[in-house]
Structure 1
Amino acid sequence: MSKKKGLSAEEKRTRMMEIFFETKDVFQLKDMEKIAPREKGITAMSVKEVLQSLVDDGMVDSERIGTSNYFWAFPSKALHARKRKLETLSTQFSEGNQKKENLQQSIKRAKIGRQDTEERASFLKELVSLRQQKEQLKAELEKYKECDPEVVEEIRKFAS
């Protein structure tokens, strides 16, 4: 026994487009404010707002002739818009597939010469041990930095 809720904005937009597609006619705002509530259940207060959102999205065409604004939308325009969108998405899809293929080729090229062999494994172990040794030597050098004659001379200059 609950009251019927109002239509969502998207439902209003869809129903408004149905009016245009079914009649294939040109309307003024005052005509739409009469037709929409009666035929599609869109409140008269929201007709202007819904119509403007459709115009802003390019789904409905609008033209000011004299002092009147006229609105229209034909099914063929919607079909062409969908075709253009489909073509755009198809192009993006094919470009994405091409990019994926190029990246896979790059991965294959990068793997050449990097096969896991005993020689490569021994070189990697040697590299790791040399890096560790380098870090140890740096740490030891830091310990003795205070005794470095150049550093001692710098300290004396600042102290004077």
Structure 2
Amino acid sequence: MAPKVSCNPLKLTSIVTYFQKSRVAHNIKDLEKHLPAVASINGMQVKDYLQSLSDENKINVEKIGSGNWYWSFASQEKKTAQKAFDDAQSAHDKASAVNEDLKLKLADAQARRADEEDMLDSGGESREELIATKAELEGVMKLLQKELAAYSDDDPTELERKTRETAGFKAEAGQYTDEIESMDGWLKSKVPDEEQMKKLRELMYGDELDVEEGMLRELV
């Protein structure tokens, strides 16, 4: 229960000092008799001051028999302060560990981002994007070839337009192929081990790998 009056910090300190110097437990009647003179407070304020000190763990309160007994020992206050310090130190250590972990994760993320940016700067697009674009273009070329076959006997003008369009797509696909091969050369300079490079090409090119040549399959 909160005290009914605002307690003066200096008077609270004087009460704690009185408890610690007495080195005994006091009942409420004893305290109501002595504390007004000790702390210069009104007798009606004694319980409020005791409640405030109890709430702040500055004194101990224990019900014994029919009444409460109050005490405070200097050694106990030292233990309380030490415990508070130990708890604070433990919290600080945990916070420091979390901080270091976050720093490592941030550094790792920044390093990975820098690697990705280097790859993008060297080729404009990532290997995955280039391979996906190449596959998409080749798929479009196959569809166009089927359409050309259907139109070849009926519309010579449409056939000529489709032929030019197909040639454009093929040239664009060839350009992407050149970029992929350029990136392959850059990657090879970073991975001098031939066996490791072979595994990387198998992973990157998949079905588009020319097994005999060990390189990207030529466009047909």
TM-score by length of 1: 0.63
CA shift at 1:23, angstroms?
1.6
> Which amino acid letter does the alignment assign opposite residue 42 of structure 2?
T
Q: Following the alignment from structure 2 to structure 1, what is the Cα–Cα distance between the partners of residues 100 and 12?
A: 41
Q: Following the alignment from structure 2 to structure 1, what is the Cα–Cα distance between the partners of residues 25 and 15?
A: 13
Q: Following the alignment from structure 1 to structure 2, what is the Cα–Cα distance between the partners of residues 113 and 8?
A: 59
Matched residues, percent identical?
A: 24
CA shift at 1:26, angstroms?
1.5
Superposed counterparts of 1:28-39, under 5 Å: 28-39=27-38
Contact 2:27 2:67 (C-alpha < 8 Å) held by counterparts: yes
SS in 2 for 1:113: helix
Matched, 1:50 2:49: yes
Partner of 1:70: 69
> Which amino acid letter does the alignment assign opposite residue 112 of structure 2?
G
In the alignment of these two chains, the number of paired residues is 120
SS in 2 for 1:62: strand
Identify unmatched segments of 5+ residues in structure 2.
1-5, 126-220
Partner of 2:112: 113
TM-score by length of 2: 0.48
- Cα distance change of structure 1 residues 14 and 120 upon mapping to structure 2, 3 Å threshold: farther
Q: Following the alignment from structure 1 to structure 2, what is the Cα–Cα distance between the partners of residues 99 and 45?
A: 51
CA RMSD of aligned residues (A): 2.7
SS in 2 for 1:114: helix
Partner of 1:19: 18
Q: Following the alignment from structure 2 to structure 1, what is the Cα–Cα distance between the partners of residues 7 and 62?
A: 27
